[in-house]
Amino acid sequence: MSTAQQFIVYSKPTKCVKCALTVEFTHAQDADLKLGGWACPNCTHVYRFTHWKIQKAGKRALKKLGKELN
Ligand SMILES: [Zn+2]
């Protein structure tokens, strides 16, 4: 459909839960925020953006809350 060149976005090295390797996840720059996700280059497991964001935000929120409470 589209002949435009696709750009790939790389994540920071992150451990894949599926294959237990630390890899750089990738996704197309124009990937859909709701349907797309980060793909592991080793086992091709896809982590949806929604799931990824919830996990990250949750951990950071917990750390921040802990510091503020202390
Ligand atoms: Zn993997």
**Structure confidence by residue, pLDDT tens digits, 1-59:** 556 677 899 999 999 999 999 999 999 988 888 888 999 999 999 999 887 655 544 45
The Å distance, Cα 57 to ligand 1 centre, comes to 21
Domain boundaries in the chain? 8-58
| CA 70 to ligand 1 center in whole angstroms | 37
Ligand 1 centroid–CA 13 distance in Å is 12
The H-or-E segment that residue 47 falls in is strand 46-48
Q: What is the tens place of the pLDDT at every residue in 16-26?
A: 999 999 999 99
Tell me what pLDDT residue 51 has: 78
Alpha carbon of 24 to ligand 1 centroid (Å): 10
SS3 (DSSP) at 3: coil
pLDDT at 63: 52
State residue 1's pLDDT score: 54
User: Cα torsion for 59, 15, 19, 41, to the nearest 10°?
Assistant: 120
